[in-house]
Amino acid sequence: MQTSTEPAALDEARAAEVAAALAEAGPAADPVGPVTPAEHAARRTRCAALLAAAGLDALVVEPGATQRYLSGVDASLSERLTALVVLADGSCFWLVPGFEVERVRGSAGDVEVLGWQEHEYAFAPLASALRRRRAERVAVEPALRAFQLAGLALALGQETLPLATGLLRDLRGCKDEHELALLRSASERTQRALLAVSRLLRPGLTALEIGALLRHAHRLQGMSGHWDLVLFGADAAEPHGSTGPRRLERGDLVLVDTGAALHGYQSDTTRTWVFDGAPSERVAQVWHAVHDAQRRAFEALAPGRRAREADAAARAVFAAAGFGGAYELFTHRVGHGIGMEGHEAPYLDGGSEVFLAPGMVFTDEPGLYVRGELGVRIEDVVAITAGGATHFGQWQAAPTSPAG
């Protein structure tokens, strides 16, 4: 789960402390390089095969994660349509505003780039380009904005255009070995950042100040796009909490949910622990129930099983511990897909009929939230393997530290 904050500025002395704490937190994660142009081309080829198998002629994709996944191009999302079109015959092309043609051509490799002019708008030129390529059965990504969908449907003379929801889940849902290595390294770096920052906590710090430490720890490890949610005590009794002016005190229950991106692939880790003190009997009871639920959900992950089984496994633990087996205190799903987006399909919710397959990557993040009292969530990234599932990094071991 993610809630971005704007961390406070970090002075030079604190920056040096973060670097030293990182060195003490253990060895750096293995280096992993970015996705290459050849890999992007292979993805477009696979997308074309999926289109053909689905009886579709083309897929239209706006700027966003899927467009980056297929091309490596980080185009801007605006009112002007910048579309990547992949065809079932294996070809593809860009349609971009006329003044953007040369800029996109510089990063598009050998993919054709077509321009449209302001007076004609994008939809007629796109429809014309599709017709020239005899593409009649045109699908769109689910994230295509409504006004773009309406304009394209009008230009193509179709009342509806099918959403490529299942196709994109098949395309992006199962990660290849390079993607798995990126996601593993991203998770390990975030866990290392969390452990380093936990050693720098002092009474009186605010959530934003802790966020600044986390951001710098991520940056020192080559990550970008940092976000964090830092909550103390009863502030964590809502899953997304609220970051207020409260300052950290000894004995506080601290919940930190944080992540960043490594070459475009996301991390997402949550740890809950008692700062500079021992957990009360109540805190220990809740923390161990969440810890047990996380492991039980993990054990329910295997090829051929339905995604909903992991959510049910976690709730069974809570029911047995007296916390309710529905949404009484565990108020959200047990996990979500993660890859180039922090949250992406498929999801580990109680209604999902998706069958798990090797290469799918999820968060495993049960929690218990008692309003006015406390909130505990533990979150790790896990991946489906041929024989079950694997875990990235280390599990949290105890409620006294975020360490494994």
Q: What is the pLDDT of residues 260-314, one digit of tens each?
A: 999 999 999 999 999 999 999 999 999 999 999 999 999 999 999 999 999 999 9
Separation of alpha carbons 285 and 40, rounded Å: 48
Residue 2 scores a pLDDT above 50: no
For 219-266, write each residue's pLDDT tens digit. 999 999 999 999 999 999 999 987 667 899 999 999 999 999 999 999
Q: What is the mean pLDDT of residues 118-136?
A: 95
Average pLDDT for the chain: 95
Note the pLDDT of residue 244.
65
pLDDT > 70: percent of the chain: 97
Residue 119 scores a pLDDT above 60: yes
Query: Identity (one letter) of the amino acid at 387?
Result: G
Note the pLDDT of residue 11.
86
Please enumerate in sequence order all residues whose Cβ is within 8 A of that of 13, keeping only pairs 6 or more positions apart, or say none: none
Kindly compute the dihedral angle of the four CA atoms of residues 76, 82, 86, 87, in this order, to the nearest 10 degrees: 180
pLDDT > 90: percent of the chain: 91
From residue 332, give the alpha-carbon distance in Å to each of 47, 55, 336, 368.
32, 37, 11, 10
Q: Which CATH number fits domain 12-30+176-391: 3.40.50.12780, 3.30.2310.20, 3.90.230.10, 3.40.50.2300?
A: 3.90.230.10
4: pLDDT confidence band, cut at 50, 70 and 90?
A: very low
**Chain centroid to CA 371:** 27
Give the start-to-end residue ranges of the domains of the chain: 12-30+176-391, 37-172
6: pLDDT confidence band, cut at 50, 70 and 90?
A: low
* Residue 389: closest CA among 171, 165, 184: 184
CATH number given to 37-172: 3.40.350.10
Ranking 72-76, 198-202, 265-269 by mean pLDDT, the lowest is 72-76
Residue 25 scores a pLDDT above 60: yes
For 80-109, write each residue's pLDDT tens digit. 999 999 999 999 999 999 999 999 998 988
Note the pLDDT of residue 8.
63
Q: What is the mean pLDDT of residues 23-47?
A: 95
The predicted model scores a pTM of 0.95
Residue 167 scores a pLDDT above 90: yes
Q: What is the mean pLDDT of residues 37-53?
A: 98
**The pair of three-digit structure tokens given for residue 172, joined into one six-digit string:** 């992006």
For 173-184, write each residue's pLDDT tens digit. 999 999 999 999
